[in-house]
Amino acid sequence: DAQQQKVRVLNCSGRIPQGVDADVFRSPDPDHLANRKSAKAVSTPTNLNAWHRLSEEYGTQPWAALFSSAIAAAEEGFVISASTARIIAKYFDEFPTYPRGFYGRNGEPLPAGERLIQRDLARSLGLVAAEGPEALYGGTLGQQIDAAMREAGGFLAMADLLANEAEWWEPISVSYRGYQVVTASPPANSFSSLIRLGMMNRFDNRALGHNTTPYLHRFAEVTKHAFWCRLKYAGDPDVQPPPLSRLLSDAYVDEQVAALDLEQATRFPPPGPSAAAGAQTTHFVVADKMGNIVCATQTLGTGFGSKVMVPGTGIWLNNSLNFCTFEPPGNPMDAHPGRRKLISNHPTFVFRDGKPWLAIGTPGGHTIGQTVPQMIMNIADFDMDVQQAIAAPRV
């Protein structure tokens, strides 16, 4: 926020549906793995409420005007790239009949160079433009989602949509090489990237050399500890807040760095196993002439989310609950009904001399927390530009 000279965190991960039974996502349920990618894994969608809060507080254009380009792209279609064609082909056989009709032709997925036309999605976006968030949270689209969930055996219900809100939070930060690194606070799990940077700040990375064995070994060992902290301490800040004042303190960092084995790789005894990474996340950064900057990560979960497209709407639903940690039952990252959904997003600002210098983030599910620190170190320690920092090989 350029006017207030402060960073704000807008959490749009929402809450886990009240009716969730987390036992369907773990053994001995015979379908527990399939359930993590199905209608049962749909969490409450919050992006639309987040867009509206941003528009209300920072927007300069009328709400209805914001959707014209997206409506046109859906109505008229756009030529799909080779990468988009590959991901459509990968999941096409899992699509229901409805989206197969326009994501494919003659029963085959659209190849690169073909035009993807989504007229139902255009109509849905038109409803949102005309009616605002109410179109989804209680309105026509919400009713269609509620009906689709009941038919598919999902847990998301109209009551969850009506109770949904996007929330402002204060950010968290650490110092790294004299820069201030600022990122999202819980219920985001971004604190794990700050743990990595805090520990790596104790080493002379430039002297070690970029991606040398000693450098990568240190980062791998630091990353194991950061993963352990995320699995151990992540939680809804109203119920079980992570002990950030301790985890990000100099004393804790010094203690953990002193415990590292700098010669041998150590075993990783996790508090509980973690879910797989996702492939349906987008990160983008936008800045305006006033100096406001938005650093945003949005996700559908894994490829095409739950593979549930609400009939008549063109809207895919997420499978965000797939990213919970289901063992042991009741752990902080389990699918707790009604609690805030914990997310692995790490939208990050780096400040130099009190001014925003870098805004960065990435897709990648649970790997995000190790990718963002490597990109920041590439810039701060090894003088790379942004493109080089993103493109450089990483673990």
Question: Rounded distance, CA 220 to CA 222, Å?
Answer: 5
Query: Buried b / exposed e across 120-136, counting CB within 10 Å, b at 16+?
Result: bbbbbbbbbbebbbebb
Catalytic residue selected from 44, 183, 223, 281: 281
- Residue 41's nearest CA partner among 127, 131, 156, 169 is 156
In sequence order, which residues have a C-beta less than 8 Å from that of residue 117 and are 6 or more positions away?
A: 74, 75, 76, 77, 102
Amino acid at 322: N
Amino acid at 241: P
In sequence order, which residues have a C-beta less than 8 Å from that of residue 289 and are 6 or more positions away?
A: none
Integer angstrom CA distances of residue 389 from 355, 361, 374, 382, 392:
20, 12, 8, 9, 6
Query: Tokens 């369907």 label which residue?
Result: 24
Amino acid at 87: I
Question: Rounded distance, CA 295 to CA 287, Å?
Answer: 9
Both tokens of residue 193? 């990237």
Hey, what's the torsion of the CAs at 175, 198, 373, 184, to 10 degrees? -70
CB 292 within 8 A of CB 53: no
Q: How many CB atoms lie within 10 A of CB 355?
A: 8
User: Residue 58 class from Cβ within 10 Å (0-12 exposed, 13-18 middle, 19+ buried)?
Assistant: middle
Task: Please indicate whether residue 44 is annotated as part of the active site.
Answer: no
> What are the catalytic residues?
281
